[in-house]
Chain A
């Protein structure tokens, strides 16, 4: 376990912001990442008392509090099946009931299928800091971080339909590369995992610009190949 030298559970957002003004404090989402071994001595700030767990539907968008667990996303009938499926693939059951959507965004894992699904669903992220709240595009948050602010909510589109096409060692393995595609009317968006430092939205015509990092599960050349194959399939399958 990390050395959490203090545990805070603020009752209000204001209290949380005050606590987090100290750079030695980190936000505790569900704990599935923060509470694993390694790292520095930290004070953790648990946001569970802030009520950031509601899922609401507003026209063509859904809004989730940042502390919504992936398990609740999976179980929610109003959430699009693409997001639910991606949330299910993201973590095994027990971790899914702890891991939060805010934590997944803050983690910015380049192999996250859920981030891919959010990216193609035009997700925006509410960042709250001492100066107030601001909605930022998911891609900017993944690329630039939260700037020390709290992720308080996430919004994404509920229209259209999508597919996840992936290659892994086994069907449930974290994909080496996954293509997530969503069609909304005539518009199709595609995100790829495992081909860059973050999950990226891609233009199918410009896949040759990718420069993936390689590892033991897939070299750069192989990941580039998968990007092409899986993007093609995702385009064909997303109807």
Chain B
């Protein structure tokens, strides 16, 4: 049918099918800013303006807009400059991945048109239509507020951190005066607590605008799906309806016969090559318990077959014509039940090796210890034992997994894919598609969030197989339901602590036992669980420690990597356990922790024995030590910000006018790692251009975090240029150096050091040439700054002249530098997490009113992007503790695989957040930096649990704190 409408003020007549959504048609018309987040409209990544009102193009038919005016963000892109709203989003750090930014900008435009001075509630109400998994809405709200002000002719102050003087000497606790209020400022602004150890720098430490701001604000084609390939086919995958079954027959003849179908793949026609899908370093941890298509399915959502067809609709029709005969087997979902005698064996196939105890579904047994735990517990004054259960949640990137594969002119397989691990993907994909690594190229464009779900070689083999089979480009994008059910999730665990404490509150032993549920496949099962042990047994000094873990198979959707990677589970249990011990001992919960937490100089003694490259020796000559720790300052700043003194004030805790409400405050001590020592490696290559600017090629994988910007700042600082003179490109296996990828809080620390080393090399060569040009004997006396090379006598030459000299005039050479870095260290960031909440004691509903995190991430290379990481991470962590859960029915089907029933926080119920960046100087990091990406995931759930305890006197050990669970707990 034909539909006539106005698109961005131009008349259009488009040909479309009656069922096609406006999103489909707009993308076909080239409006790549309109993006897929779901088929049900609530993600808002596809929100556009129809007659100047925000609507979701997912659930409006193109036919419905006939006769109406449609506007996409492309309408604002009339020239090189950004629109005022786009500028405000760039200036405030309101874009992380930027995937849904165009929708937010359109919503803001319509809002400001109706009300030039919208209040925060109105802004938040508008944003309810656009789910954001990244920013916690803090900076988008600020961006819209500032944009409105500028459009009214006002001139807001430049956006930057609020400098807050330290409250401590960095070592000793502060005594807080309850009458001393915290610093006033908008919540979007990070509170930066400076350190005398950190020098002032030109670019590092500054609130630079993200290097990808223009393409993100304009909605330019930058994401995986934003290219059009001639002759491209569309893939769909048939997923298992059964939690556990053998495929005894498959008949694809009707599907193959369907016009427009080009390939149907399944176990009968695809080579059986074993692999493990977790995106990890070579050699991938065993067991290799997957194949592209198996003759057994192990969860509802497991792969059965894949189709490539001319359209998505034909592919779907083809799936319905594949006749599969299943022999349904008993299934098991709970990690405790799978260990019981008689439980079904999930992996009974003979060709998977390295399963620890196949009959009992134990894929790994992990053990690590220091000292003699049993003897120490036997001699302890007090022994506490507690068991906690943590549940299954999903990462929920708004951009689901998507990959496009094709054969290039050399007939090499090219895969453009939303991945955090392009280099691992290339290496892991090669054997599956029976090609050599040299014949595969993996390109990572902009990524719409990943949070670990994309640390996986998840669907690249499907498009690879299909592209090779059809010799056509093949695109496969998961639906939202498939993203929930068939991608990756967080591991559920049952965690038991036994802790021995002496009478004065000193820990003498900690014993941690974990049953980790890795679902149908191993993938990250081993390493996630080791991180649970590492994080669960490193925060506090105890001379005797033991970690014992069974990682078990079940028939639930597959857990994998999720931001925090085992730490949120372990630290939840640890910080709940420590709270209860403190209260039982009659000690202040923070004082009890302080007595035991690791301090500068303390050994992290179990760390080398756990992790992807754990050492087997029982005793090492040297253990890594904590070299920087800003926790005392974090506690002081956070306690003042949350009003910690109120926790024992009955008048505050029991508001007289609301008799069913109890208020509470909770705390959690957080400690994380920075990269995997001796393993994570990043490479960087830098070259100078004719104009004295630089290309920086990195394998590091910015998935929205701002990594490209931070790495650019590091290069700019070394090379003496503004950030705008750095052109970053990441990442492409043909073009950029290797990098393990975006995970394990490693990019700033590992890839950043590689950038710094490469930049140092380039700087040396610039200085050599500048010395010649300036007739200076000692090149090391040359300084770089303000785009110039300076001699001590004040003479100078511009970097442009150095570049022209080197490229064209004399002793010609390409000034360039290449470096890579792997670290023996993993310096821990620390944080104090505070939560303020209300409990409705009659209904069990918990309402979180404020989150404060004060984090020591070393030197924040960019305080705006760093605070954005903390804001977004805290909100994900709040969802984990409070309201997110994947619910399975008795048949193993996920009953809530869509937003709404699966609730992620929305703009209008997000609590107030405040972020403190406590600066410390970490000598092992580039310009003093440690990690910041994952630590915000660690403390919210336990601090929330401890706040409920403070409010009601009731300790709840299982998450999430949904109303009925809390109500049952309150009622015994």
Chain B residues within 8 Å of A95, by CB: 41-42, 55-56, 59, 129
Closest CB in chain B relative to A22 CB, distance in Å: 15
B19 touches A98 (CB 8 A): no
Contact A31 to B39, CB < 8 A, known contacts A1-B20, A169-B962, A173-B883: no
Chain B residues within 8 Å of A43, by CB: 18
A35 touches B61 (CB 8 A): yes
Chain A residues within 8 Å of B842, by CB: 229
Q: Name A170's closest neighbour in chain B (CB-CB).
A: B909
A37 to B64, CA, bound (A): 17
B39 touches A37 (CB 8 A): yes
Chain A residues within 8 Å of B1, by CB: 7
Closest CB in chain A relative to B131 CB, distance in Å: 8
Contact A170 to B18, CB < 8 A, known contacts A7-B61, A37-B39: no
Contact A170 to B843, CB < 8 A, known contacts A4-B19, A93-B54: no
B19 touches A3 (CB 8 A): yes
Q: Which of B40, B53, B964 meets A71, CB within 8 Å?
A: B53
Q: What 0/1 readout, one digit per residue, does chain A (84-107) give for beta carbons within 8 Å of chain B?
A: 000010001111111000000000
Q: Is A5's CB within 8 Å of the partner chain B?
A: yes
Chain B residues within 8 Å of A218, by CB: 963-964
Contact A35 to B59, CB < 8 A, known contacts A2-B19, A5-B19: yes
A138 to B900, CA, bound (A): 26
Closest CB in chain A relative to B892 CB, distance in Å: 14
A180-188, A204-212, A219-227: which one contacts chain B?
Answer: A219-227
A143 to B845, CA, bound (A): 30
Q: Is A36's CB within 8 Å of the partner chain B?
A: yes
B843 touches A35 (CB 8 A): no
Q: Is A234's CB within 8 Å of the partner chain B?
A: no
Q: Which of A37, A94, A174 meets B130, CB within 8 Å?
A: A94
Chain B residues within 8 Å of A96, by CB: 129
Q: Is A157's CB within 8 Å of the partner chain B?
A: no
A2 to B901, CA, bound (A): 21
A144 to B114, CA, bound (A): 40
A171 touches B56 (CB 8 A): no
A31 touches B60 (CB 8 A): yes
B895 touches A216 (CB 8 A): yes
Contact A169 to B883, CB < 8 A, known contacts A3-B19, A31-B61: yes
Q: Name B51's closest neighbour in chain A (CB-CB).
A: A97
Chain A residues within 8 Å of B963, by CB: 167-169, 176, 217-218, 222
A161 to B903, CA, bound (A): 31
B19 touches A1 (CB 8 A): yes
Q: Name B66's closest neighbour in chain A (CB-CB).
A: A9
Q: Is A131's CB within 8 Å of the partner chain B?
A: no
Q: Which of B39, B107, B847, B905 meets A93, CB within 8 Å?
A: B107
Q: Is B164's CB within 8 Å of the partner chain A?
A: no
A94 to B55, CA, bound (A): 4
A5 to B313, CA, bound (A): 13
B59 touches A36 (CB 8 A): yes
B883 touches A98 (CB 8 A): no
Chain B residues within 8 Å of A2, by CB: 19
Q: What 0/1 readout, one digit per residue, does chain B (840-851) give for beta carbons within 8 Å of chain A?
A: 101111010000
Q: What 0/1 readout, one digit per residue, does chain A (62-77) give for beta carbons within 8 Å of chain B?
A: 0000000001000000
B42 touches A167 (CB 8 A): no
A88 touches B125 (CB 8 A): yes
B964 touches A222 (CB 8 A): yes
A230 to B840, CA, bound (A): 12
A48 to B895, CA, bound (A): 34
B21 touches A92 (CB 8 A): no
Within 8 A of A (CB), among B41-82: 41-42, 44, 47, 50, 53-56, 58-61, 63-64, 66
Q: Name A72's closest neighbour in chain B (CB-CB).
A: B53
Contact A92 to B19, CB < 8 A, known contacts A7-B61, A174-B900: no
A44 to B39, CA, bound (A): 18
A44 to B19, CA, bound (A): 9
Contact A1 to B39, CB < 8 A, known contacts A169-B903, A173-B903: yes
Interface size class of A (residues with CB under 8 A): 35 or more
Closest CB in chain A relative to B58 CB, distance in Å: 8
Chain A residues within 8 Å of B59, by CB: 31-32, 35-36, 95, 98
A168 to B844, CA, bound (A): 10
A173 to B884, CA, bound (A): 11
Q: Name B126's closest neighbour in chain A (CB-CB).
A: A93
B53 touches A171 (CB 8 A): no
Within 8 A of A (CB), among B530-561: none
Chain A residues within 8 Å of B66, by CB: 9
Within 8 A of B (CB), among A1-35: 1-7, 9, 28, 30-32, 35
A4 to B59, CA, bound (A): 12
Closest CB in chain B relative to A173 CB, distance in Å: 5
Contact A216 to B896, CB < 8 A, known contacts A36-B40, A167-B843, A170-B905: yes
Closest CB in chain B relative to A87 CB, distance in Å: 12
A170 to B44, CA, bound (A): 20
Closest CB in chain A relative to B885 CB, distance in Å: 8
Within 8 A of A (CB), among B853-907: 882-883, 885, 887, 895-896, 900-901, 903, 905-906
Q: Which of B39, B54, B843, B887 meets A36, CB within 8 Å?
A: B39
A174 to B127, CA, bound (A): 17
Q: Is A46's CB within 8 Å of the partner chain B?
A: yes
A17 to B53, CA, bound (A): 29
Q: Name B967's closest neighbour in chain A (CB-CB).
A: A222
Closest CB in chain A relative to B887 CB, distance in Å: 4
Q: Which of B18, B107, B882 meets A169, CB within 8 Å?
A: B882
Q: Is B823's CB within 8 Å of the partner chain A?
A: no
A6 to B18, CA, bound (A): 5
Q: Is B168's CB within 8 Å of the partner chain A?
A: no
Contact A93 to B61, CB < 8 A, known contacts A172-B906, A176-B963: no
Closest CB in chain A relative to B136 CB, distance in Å: 13
Chain B residues within 8 Å of A48, by CB: 64
**Which interface residue of B44, B50, B479, B843 has the most chain A CB atoms within 10 A?**
B843
B129 touches A93 (CB 8 A): yes
Closest CB in chain B relative to A3 CB, distance in Å: 5
Q: Name A30's closest neighbour in chain B (CB-CB).
A: B60
Closest CB in chain B relative to A167 CB, distance in Å: 4
**Which interface residue of B59, B130, B896 has the most chain A CB atoms within 10 A?**
B59
A174 to B58, CA, bound (A): 21
Chain B residues within 8 Å of A170, by CB: 847, 882-883, 903, 905-906, 909
Closest CB in chain B relative to A136 CB, distance in Å: 28
A217 touches B129 (CB 8 A): no
Q: Is B8's CB within 8 Å of the partner chain A?
A: no
Q: Is B908's CB within 8 Å of the partner chain A?
A: yes
A98 to B64, CA, bound (A): 11
Chain A residues within 8 Å of B479, by CB: 37
Q: Is B311's CB within 8 Å of the partner chain A?
A: no
Chain A residues within 8 Å of B195, by CB: none
Chain A residues within 8 Å of B903, by CB: 169-170, 173
Q: Name A222's closest neighbour in chain B (CB-CB).
A: B964
Closest CB in chain A relative to B724 CB, distance in Å: 35
A98 touches B55 (CB 8 A): yes
Chain A residues within 8 Å of B129, by CB: 92-96
Q: Is B284's CB within 8 Å of the partner chain A?
A: no
**Which interface residue of A35, A98, A170, A230 has the most chain B CB atoms within 10 A?**
A170
Closest CB in chain A relative to B447 CB, distance in Å: 24
A-B residue pairs in contact (CB < 8 Å), sample of 6: A1-B39, A5-B19, A32-B56, A37-B39, A95-B129, A171-B908
Beyond A5-B18, A93-B127, 9 additional contacts (C-beta under 8 Å) are: A43-B18, A71-B53, A95-B41, A95-B59, A167-B843, A168-B845, A170-B909, A216-B887, A218-B963
Q: Which 10 A-B pairs have the closest CB atoms?
A: A94-B129, A93-B129, A172-B909, A92-B128, A169-B883, A7-B63, A4-B19, A7-B18, A171-B909, A94-B56
B residues contacting A by CB (< 8 A) are: 1, 18-21, 24, 39-42, 44, 47, 50, 53-56, 58-61, 63-64, 66, 103, 107, 125-130, 479, 840, 842-845, 847, 882-883, 885, 887, 895-896, 900-901, 903, 905-906, 908-909, 962-964, 967
